[in-house]
Structure 1
Amino acid sequence: MKMSGLLNRRSNDLAGVVGTVRQIRAGSPVPRKLGAKDVAVLDLNRTPAATARAVVDAAVAAVVHVPRSGEEMLPRAAFRILAASTIPVIEDADLAEIEDGTRVRIDEGVVYSVKNEDRLASGREAGPTTILTEVDAAEAGYVESALAHLANATEFLSLEHRLLLDGEGLPDIDVAFTDRHVVVVTGDPSSEAQLAGLKPFIKEYRPLLVGVGGGADLLRESRFSADVVVATPTEVSDEALTDGAVLVLPADRDGRAEGLERVTDLGVGATTFPAAATARDMALLLAFHGGAEMIVVTGDDRGLENVFAPSSAPSSTMVDTAVSSRLVHADACSTLYRSRGTGIGLALVVLAALIAVAAVVVARDSAQDLLIWAIEAWNTFALWVQGLVR
């Protein structure tokens, strides 16, 4: 069914639906004034049911589904909610980079700029029957992927349970993790922005920094010095390998380590880590069994949207479970630190106000009155600040 047959809206006598782009990012609230003149752009794979219902209640002109690159459909309720409505759903039209507020016209899955009729993206309109068929297939595929993933994770557990539970087989490296905060930076695309968000946390707490694969170079580019690098030597630059960090090379369980000759040629020492795990998992286990107080890791979160994806390592499911009592995702750490920082900033503002009031008291009252007032005010202020930082 053509979109022009679903809704009879026109702009300059051109066919299709006309509306204003409203980007609804994962985790963001639905815009308050979302309505019939808007085109909602979102990733339905990460859209909760409540958001989908709000979009339907707003009776938007169209919904454009923009999943992550290369990602297949997940069986989210949002698809079924939209399929039960009369709102056109456009798939495979990448409007992720189109600015919020841009006026667009959508006709038969093609998105044009209203301003100059430039073609912005091309997709396909998915009717209710198509969406429901795709969701049914996604459900079956999701369960299949989960079963295969968990079977591989169980096999990993059978091989490496001593390593997971007791740290048997960990290399002996000259790094004191005990009671330290540790930040593990991976080479995932999301790590760059997450590392930027962690800068205030790193500046204050001075955690041990562990670069995993491309994360070692990412640390260098961000002007941080890695304390430990866990990587296959061919994945990182010479500078990252010779910057003074302790080098740990992932190796097969038989001890063979890819790229060992490169380290030898550079004249630096390295320790191999034989295990059936990824470099990321090895870094987490080194920190956890080394006694780290908290481990912050960058990269994609391992929620249900990602954990069973083909790119997700089954070993990571077991490793994350093993270290879960001390594991914090970078996004969560940044959010908590920002909240804490806001409280401290407010405390400083209040302190400045107290000083200003003290100046007024000095000008008006006796020194004894000032002393009594200052003691009471300071005690109240100190108790309030303690409550902020607990």
Structure 2
Amino acid sequence: MKMSGLLNRRSTELAGVVGAVRHIPAGASAPKKLGAKDIVVLDLNRTSAETARAVVAAEVAAVVHVAPSGEENLPRAAYRILAGSTIPVVEDADLSEVADGTRVRVDEGVVYAIKGDEELASGREAGSADLLAEVDAAEGAYVESALAHLANSTEFLSIEHQLLLDGEGLPEIDVEFVDRHVVVVTGSEVSREQLADLKPFIREYRPVLVGVDGGAEFLRAAKLNADLVVANPAEVSDEVLTDGAVLVVPADRDGKAEGLERITELGVGATTFPAAATARDMALLLAFHGGAQMIVTTGESRGLENAFGSSSAPSSTMVDTTVASRLVHAEACATLYRSRGAGIGLALIVLAALVAVAVVVLARDSAQDLLVWAIETWNSFALWVQGLFR
């Protein structure tokens, strides 16, 4: 008997279910080719109802639910959909390092490699009752978190409504925002990659660049000069503080600010901004009330999934609402700019082709015929280019 035949027979004799690992990234749709020989690895907190239904319809061998460490459960429909199926669900068996297509066996919450039957990860089985209990608990926690967050946001509004509505209390700084594009780079780790995607946009529009906390370091690393830095001086490098950007130091409403000693030691000037807001929110308000035409901000997007989490400041809810008419997230800006750039590139290619054709026509026909052709062709080309930007 062939070795492959022995392995197949051995796999079927062992307890549990056997299949190939199929990772579904957070927010992604289910792969088209999904079936009973697959073991799906996903995060139910970031899985849509549509994707969950597709997984159930495919009758996969098992589902491994792995949430990132420290992540709070969300009351997603995916929990109830899996609970209503007969598909085995294993929780917290970390298969992040196991490549797609790897054949594994899942038994009583433990995942084994088919080759050598080595244990790859250990979790726990979650039955229908477990999944329903988890989603019920998540619903309660989510609502409580939302109520607490909104209460804190309302308190912030009551304290800082003049700042939000009229810009009362904004420090006077030497940065011209009027009718300018502004890019606010935060210290979130995702900002580094987003800033790289924004570079073509920055090259063309020359926006006002604002570094918030560690975002100022990202700008410097990207060889971009910040026009404004809003940060605790003790948390950024000497190079950032002495690069020539206007410095704004966040302060409590009573005027107390951290890190001013550092400013004094370096001999640079700075302005304090007393407010019950985060540095990021201060930067947005400075740009908005300064007359910015558009404000692009990097960092985690503020969707409903994370709107009320511990990482979301109550002040940001009110500040984002205040500046909403001019606020664009970095990912959206980069996507729109890429689409626009592709259209311009195509237009230039077409124009070059027209010039080449004109040379041929000029060599063959009379000048009058060329003029008529050129006018008609140019009009058609102009209308087509206009259509790219509608």
TM-score (structure 1 length as normaliser)? 0.92
Q: List alignment gaps of at least 5 residues for structure 1.
A: 1-8
**Letter paired with 2:350:** V
Contact 1:20 / 1:101 at 8 angstroms: preserved in 2? yes
SS at match of 2:31: coil
Deviation at 1:353, TM superposition (A): 3.1
Closer, same or farther: CA 339–69 of 1 in aligned 2, 3 Å: farther
Alignment partner, residue 11 of structure 1: 11
Out of 105-114 and 53-62, give the one that drifted further: 105-114
Closer, same or farther: CA 242–95 of 1 in aligned 2, 3 Å: farther
Alignment partner, residue 122 of structure 1: 122
Deviation at 1:12, TM superposition (A): 6.7
Deviations 1:290-336 (A, max 9, x none): 11111111111111110111121111111111111111111111121
Contact 2:28 / 2:47 at 8 angstroms: preserved in 1? no
Out of 120-129 and 288-297, give the one that drifted further: 120-129
SS at match of 2:156: helix
Deviation at 1:118, TM superposition (A): 5.1
Indicate yes or no: 2:335 matched with 1:335: yes
Deviation at 1:250, TM superposition (A): 0.5
Contact 1:10 / 1:17 at 8 angstroms: preserved in 2? no
CA distance in structure 2 between the partners assigned to 1:104 and 1:206 by the alignment: 52
**Letter paired with 1:281:** D
Alignment partner, residue 258 of structure 2: 258
Alignment partner, residue 307 of structure 1: 307
Alignment partner, residue 172 of structure 1: 172
Deviations 1:82-138 (A, max 9, x none): 111112222223334544334333333333444565544332221111000010000
Contact 2:66 / 2:94 at 8 angstroms: preserved in 1? yes
Closer, same or farther: CA 91–58 of 1 in aligned 2, 3 Å: same
Alignment partner, residue 34 of structure 1: 34
CA distance in structure 2 between the partners assigned to 1:71 and 1:22 by the alignment: 22
Contact 2:103 / 2:114 at 8 angstroms: preserved in 1? yes
CA distance in structure 2 between the partners assigned to 1:26 and 1:159 by the alignment: 38
**Letter paired with 1:16:** G
**Letter paired with 1:187:** G
SS at match of 2:51: helix
CA distance in structure 2 between the partners assigned to 1:338 and 1:115 by the alignment: 45
SS at match of 1:173: coil
Deviation at 1:159, TM superposition (A): 0.7
Alignment partner, residue 369 of structure 2: 369
SS at match of 2:90: strand
Closer, same or farther: CA 234–120 of 1 in aligned 2, 3 Å: farther
Alignment partner, residue 76 of structure 1: 76
SS at match of 1:11: helix
Alignment partner, residue 192 of structure 1: 192
SS at match of 2:11: coil
CA distance in structure 2 between the partners assigned to 1:357 and 1:40 by the alignment: 55
Closer, same or farther: CA 385–77 of 1 in aligned 2, 3 Å: same
**Letter paired with 1:50:** E
CA distance in structure 1 between the partners assigned to 2:380 and 2:320 by the alignment: 43
Alignment partner, residue 6 of structure 1: none
Alignment partner, residue 293 of structure 1: 293
Give the 4+ runs in structure 1 shifted more than 6 A.
Answer: none
Closer, same or farther: CA 106–354 of 1 in aligned 2, 3 Å: farther
CA distance in structure 1 between the partners assigned to 2:18 and 2:355 by the alignment: 57
How is 1:372-383 mapped onto 2 (pairs within 5 angstroms)? 372-383=372-383
Contact 1:228 / 1:248 at 8 angstroms: preserved in 2? yes
CA distance in structure 1 between the partners assigned to 2:114 and 2:362 by the alignment: 65
CA distance in structure 2 between the partners assigned to 1:261 and 1:305 by the alignment: 39
Closer, same or farther: CA 10–53 of 1 in aligned 2, 3 Å: farther
Q: How many residues matched?
A: 383
Alignment partner, residue 150 of structure 1: 150
SS at match of 2:177: coil
CA distance in structure 2 between the partners assigned to 1:134 and 1:229 by the alignment: 43
CA distance in structure 2 between the partners assigned to 1:144 and 1:44 by the alignment: 21
Alignment partner, residue 5 of structure 2: none
Alignment partner, residue 4 of structure 1: none
SS at match of 1:82: helix
CA distance in structure 1 between the partners assigned to 2:33 and 2:192 by the alignment: 33
Deviation at 1:363, TM superposition (A): 4.7
Closer, same or farther: CA 371–65 of 1 in aligned 2, 3 Å: farther
Deviation at 1:55, TM superposition (A): 1.5
Deviation at 1:52, TM superposition (A): 1.3
Deviation at 1:10, TM superposition (A): 7.1
Out of 115-124 and 299-308, give the one that drifted further: 115-124
Query: What RMSD, in angstroms, separates the aligned Cα atoms of the two structures?
Result: 2.1
CA distance in structure 2 between the partners assigned to 1:161 and 1:233 by the alignment: 27
Q: List alignment gaps of at least 5 residues for structure 2.
A: 1-8
CA distance in structure 2 between the partners assigned to 1:209 and 1:95 by the alignment: 40
TM-score (structure 2 length as normaliser)? 0.92
Contact 1:10 / 1:18 at 8 angstroms: preserved in 2? no
Deviation at 1:18, TM superposition (A): 2.8
Closer, same or farther: CA 113–199 of 1 in aligned 2, 3 Å: farther
How is 1:182-221 mapped onto 2 (pairs within 5 angstroms)? 182-221=182-221
